[in-house]
Amino acid sequence: MAENKEQRFRFSEAPIWDLQRTYYEEEGLNAWNNDQVPQYITSNPMIATAYAEMIFGFLQDRATKGDDFEPITILELGAGAGRLAFHILHKLCEMRDYAGITLPPFRYVMTDLALKNVDGWRYHPAMQSYIEQGILDFARFDAVHDAELNLVVSNTTIRPGDLLQPLLIVANYFFDSIPQELIYVGEGKIYECDVVIESPENSNLLEPSEALEQMTLNYEHRRAPRYEEETYLYRDLIALYQKELEDSHILFPEVGLTCLERLNKLSQAGFLLITADKGDHRLDNWKFAEPPQLTLHGSFSLTANYHAIQHVFDQRGAQTLFTEHHYKNINIGCIFMLDSPMRYGNTRLAYRRFIERFGPDDFFSMKEWVDLQFETMGLHQILAFWRLGGYDAEFFIQSAKQISNLLSEASDEELLDIQRGIHIMWSSYYVMEQRYDLALDAGLLLFEMDMYEDAKLFLETSIQADEEEPVPTVLYCLAICSYELGMEEEALEYTREALVLEPEHEEALELLKCFE
């Protein structure tokens, strides 16, 4: 049996961060396939709509100030699977075209540490139209070190001072996944928490996810006078913690703060930060905090210290918005590091309407309940929740069986609403490697509704995308669709293909008689 070894590290320099980095660099976009790394809560159409509304409000505010000529750069940090960016762009362009008002031009820049992710986004089919319009670009960005952005598509570099418009930053599940310091406050003194890691001797031979799973973390305190020196950049915040906290372990986002400061220098007009995370902005939530536990999901995540970020920028004249009510799953904030933040009324109103009043955290809490209620829900309830979630594909997949069960009782109006919803969903569908075939489920449901033209379109899309041999029942459905649409040659061909795969397919044999 292999023996374990112990090593001691400063928390921000522990090997967990290298393993995290290696995991994403090796896996690329595969890290999010089938939710190995959770992405739904921060990447669904509902949260993207809330973000697009705030971004649209910001564009309106800049236009009101007369700044409608220079482009606004929207920078997403840690864009991950790319699904959030796609949904935001889809909704933002839809709003821009519908409103028909003068707005500043914009470009959305997706960034991540892993070059594989940048390449994956650049060649993803869903991104191509936005690239062609010149409103989407990409860059590899290291939050720990980088001070400029090297854009891939336009082959340009954004350096400090280059931007005349404020930089708009989107950071979802970002601050909890980059290196953080860990300090301990006790009896008015600041201690650094070193982490003692126990791991198998052969841990260097393990995959990053396996190495993380087999680690045991323990913490030891040592006095850390650097945090109490007057020259320390965040001395005021540390002094607050010394005064207000006792016996508390604090994840301190020094890397996150310095990253924001470097990004702030890119623009001559400051930044707006829209951010969501499992993170606490209330000081009370850090009182008597225990040492952190890694939340493992291929990689790992921690709790983001939004209180520190909020406090630092409040002290510098920013306005920060977090919800008055307490969050359950995801905390969403907005920080205006801008001149005269109160003049951004459209942006602040959008936060109030789409985050404060009822936001993505509320929606996710409801969805957890709805997921358990499908068998008791009526069609009108399912359709209402589907609309609320922005015609989300994952919800459709979950509810497709119940929708099918309820079709016999559906009104013509409800059938038309299902059909319309499927088309809206498909128009904003971001393809990832998942356990389900959305086109197949949509096509079969439309087939049940006798909407043969649409059913044929989706079922053929499914067959073309699937590398495996088609299922005879799907070929039979396509034969029926073609027959009902007066396309007898295609109907005969699909019937024959189904019988080649399943010679005793009774329905296909009956249909074949129609061609004799």
**Domain membership flag for residue 404:** yes
The pLDDT score that the predictor gives to residue 212 is 84
The C-alpha angle with vertex 433 and arms to 135 and 51, in degrees rounded to 5, equals 40
Look at the block and give the residue holding tokens 């023996």: 3
Is 70 exceeded by the pLDDT of residue 3? no
Range of lowest pLDDT (211-220, 226-235, 388-397, 478-487): 211-220
Domain that holds residue 225: 181-251
- The 3 state secondary structure assigned to 263-309 is HHCCECCCEEEEEEECEECCHHHHCCCCCCCCEEECEEECCEEHHHH
Do 341 and 383 have their domain in common? Answer: no
Per-residue model confidence (pLDDT) at position 37: 62
Domains held by the chain: number: 3
Residues 31-84 pLDDT 10s: 666 556 667 888 899 999 999 999 999 999 999 988 778 899 999 999 988 999
Question: Could you give the percent of the chain with pLDDT greater than 70?
Answer: 97
Q: What is the pLDDT of residue 355?
A: 97
Provide, rounded to the nearest whole percent, the portion of the chain with pLDDT above 90: 74
How confident is the model over 93-127, as pLDDT tens digits? 999 999 999 999 999 999 999 888 999 999 999 99
Residue 7 lies in a domain: no
CB half-sphere exposure, 419, CA atoms < 13 A? 18
Is residue 21 a part of any domain in this protein? no
Per-residue confidence (pLDDT) for residue 4, from 0 to 100: 66
Q: Average pLDDT in the 428-452 region?
A: 90
| Both structure tokens of 154 | 């336009």
Q: Which residues pair with 296 in a beta bridge?
A: 300
172 shares its domain with 186: no
Tokens of 308: 């520190």
| Confidence (pTM) | 0.93
Q: Report the C-alpha gap between 235 and 342 in whole angstroms.
A: 28
pLDDT score, position 180: 93
Residue 418 covered by a domain: yes
The verdict on residue 430 lying in a domain is yes
Task: Report the chain's C-alpha Rg in angstroms.
Answer: 26
- Whether residue 134 is found in the same domain as residue 63: yes
Is the pLDDT assigned to residue 1 strictly greater than 50? no
In a domain, 293, yes or no: no
Instruction: Give the CATH number of the domain where residue 416 resides.
Output: 1.25.40.10
| 3-state SS assignment for residue 186 | strand
266 and 128 inside one domain: yes
- What is the average pLDDT across 315-319? 95
Say yes or no: 91 and 142 in one domain.
yes
* Lowest model confidence (mean pLDDT) among 102-111, 185-194, 216-225, 432-441: 432-441
Q: Could you tell me which residues come within 8 angstroms of residue 402 by beta carbon, excluding any fewer than 6 positions away? A: 374, 375, 377, 382
Task: Report if residue 80 sits inside a domain.
Answer: yes
Q: Give a yes or no: residue 4 inside a domain.
A: no
Rounded CA gap, 382 and 386, in Å?
Answer: 6
* Residue 435: pLDDT over 70: no
Q: What pLDDT, on the 0 to 100 scale, is given for residue 512?
A: 84
